[in-house]
Every structure is written in structure tokens, then in C-alpha cells.
Amino acid sequence: MAATRNVMRAVRVFEFGGPEVLKLQSDVLVPVPKENQVLIKVHACGVNPVETYIRSGTYARKPALPYTPGSDVAGVIESVGEHVTAFKKGDRVFTLETLSGGYAEYAVAAANRVYPLSDKLDFRQGAAIGVPYFTAYRALFQKGCAKAGESVLVHGASGGVGLAACQIARACGLKVLGTAGTEEGMNMILRNGAHHAFNHRDPNYTEKIKACTGPGGVNIIIEMLSNVNLDTDLQLLSCAGRVMVVGCRGRIEINPRDTMSRESSIVGVSLLLATEEERHECATAVLDGIEAGWLKPVVGLEYPLEKVAKAHEDIICSSGARGKMVLLV
């Protein structure tokens, strides 16, 4: 089941550090899929902020060196392990996770982390599905217990997870409020399911959110930058409201009393902790959304593999997200 070529271009990390430790190499061995694995010819790979934290060596989870980053690939099945029946050579697919790393021309993935890619979507959009949409679904429903008729504030809605959350929440009957840091990001949110958009760089934006929700507050907040917003979020919630901590880059002081007056909750979200059954639930919802036509990943900045270091710089020091960042392979 060997691939057509034995070596490939792939990004390798030999030491933890800044973006400069991402090295594009042209003589990396093409991995061979084991019995329950598939080999994918990668066309595009999503860039997730967590890949920059892991690369820096400051994240709790550290892969063995050297390694290739990247979990959200979209491409075509090149070969399959002997026990794989769900896929065959030539199938278009996207992944939630890879075993060998997605910033590469080929990647091996466990067959149960691979999903068919609809003809409705191109490979760049396929690379924008896995982590963002599964996380958004998990935050809204598996952890946030969202119900139709409730309101949700997607705090940081212009990036990969945020736009996914706006699309899913709107399709499931929630009232959707979203924030972005630019006018363009706000317009993008409004085109992707939000009823109302706010600029989180506007000093008065939380007052505007309060005016929009009224004294009842918002039922759920999907929070992308908890270290900045958690204290304020607690003031925006309804009774029994809940903040879903999806993104966090540091510490913040809060007053726990703010949760008492509303019996509100702060809930951490980790896609990594999803069970097999929960992942299956996410996948079913996502594949149904694609089929129905409301789930349309929005691709933002695109970089060739050669520019991977620049991609890692830009996703952290962003001047304004406009959808999911992807690497083109």
C-alpha cells in the first residue's frame, strides 16, 4: 500500500520555539498507513491557534520531537490499511486529527477521524471543518446545552471557531450575537448567521450588547479570549446563563459573586476530551449541515507551505480574522 512517491515535502519541528522552528523539508519519508489507518494526499490544511502554542513548547501537551503539526487536512485518499472498508483510493475526505501531521504533502490518519468531503465544498473549505466546527458544536450543545429560542453571544466570531458557531447556532434556532475586531469581520459574521454584530475594539461595545439583549441578558457566551473577557461576560449573562471557555491565553481576575446573583456557570470546553460517541454526534451534525447547505466554511488567509512561519505569526498577531486560516499544499 505504498504511496506513489517515497519522499515528500513536510514541515518539521526539531525544537520548540518561535515560528522560525518550522522547517519545510523536501526529503521526509511518506508515512505508510497501518491496518486501521488511511494515507491522504493533502491539498489543504487548517491552521489552528493551538498549533502555535504547542510549537512554542509552553502548552501542556508536547509531542515528541521532531514532529509535523496539523490536524485538519482535506485531500484525497491515496491508500488504506488492510482493515479499512469505509474509504478507498480516490475518495475526497477531511480529518479531525492526523497521526503524522497535516502540514505535509501526505498524512496518515486513523480511519475513525476521517470523514467524506462533500462535492459542495472545495479542499480549502474541507480544511476549515474539523477542529473549528466540532469545537463549536461541542461548546454550544454538548457543554452549553443550547436550546432553540435561547440567545448566544459568540465573543470572537470572525475566526474559525466563531464563524462555525454562528452558522450552527443560527441553523438550530438560537438568536445569535457575534463580535469581531473589524468592520469586515462584522459584515462576515452577519453573512454567516449572526442577527447582530459588535466590534470588540469599540470601548462601548458591551453597553451596546446590553442594550440589544435587554435586562434579561444573554443565555450563552462562546468565549474565544477568556483572559480578556471573562469578568465582563459574567455581567452580560442571563439567569442560569453560561460562559463556555473555548479560548484562553492567560489569567484574569473575576468576582465569583457575579455568578451567584444569576446562578450562572463558567464551563471549560476541550475538544480533546470528547468521547468517541460525542465525536460521532459532532460529525453527524456537521455532515448533515453540509448536506442541508447551511454549513459553509469561510476561508480567510491562505498561505503556501513555504510561508508556514508567517502563517503562525499572523494567526497570533492578527489584524482582524476573516474566516479560517489554511495552508495550501
Ligand X SMILES: NC(=O)c1ccc[n+]([C@@H]2O[C@H](COP(=O)([O-])OP(=O)(O)OC[C@H]3O[C@@H](n4cnc5c(N)ncnc54)[C@H](OP(=O)(O)O)[C@@H]3O)[C@@H](O)[C@H]2O)c1
User: Footprint of ligand X on this chain (CB under 6 A)?
Assistant: 48-50, 131-132, 135, 155-162, 179-182, 185, 200, 224-225, 228-229, 246-247, 269-271, 315, 318, 320-321
- Least distance in Å: CB of 53 to ligand X? 7
Backbone angles phi, psi at 48, to 5 degrees: -110, 145
- Least distance in Å: CB of 280 to ligand X? 17
**In DSSP terms, which residues pair with 123 in a beta bridge?**
none
Q: Residue 293: is it exposed, middle or buried by C-beta count within 10 angstroms (0-12/13-18/19+)? A: exposed
- Least distance in Å: CB of 246 to ligand X? 5
Query: What is the C-alpha to C-alpha distance for residues 10 and 31, in angstroms, rounded to an integer?
Result: 11
Query: What is the C-alpha to C-alpha distance for residues 307 and 128, in angstroms, rounded to an integer?
Result: 18
> In the bound complex, which residue of the shown chain has the CB atom lying closest to ligand X?
159
- Least distance in Å: CB of 71 to ligand X? 10
> Residue 49 or 241: which CB sits closer to ligand X?
49
> Residue 7 or 50: which CB sits closer to ligand X?
50
Query: What is the C-alpha to C-alpha distance for residues 33 and 89, in angstroms, rounded to an integer?
Result: 13
- Least distance in Å: CB of 27 to ligand X? 31
> Residue 132 or 289: which CB sits closer to ligand X?
132
> Residue 217 or 297: which CB sits closer to ligand X?
297
> Residue 155 or 170: which CB sits closer to ligand X?
155
CA distances from 173 to 147, 166, 194, 212, 224 (A): 8, 11, 11, 18, 22
> Residue 28 or 157: which CB sits closer to ligand X?
157
Opening angle at CA 312, ends 16 and 26, nearest 5: 70
Pairing of strands 237-245, 218-223: parallel
CA distances from 202 to 27, 159, 320 (A): 49, 18, 14
- Least distance in Å: CB of 273 to ligand X? 8
Q: Which amino acid is at 201?
A: R
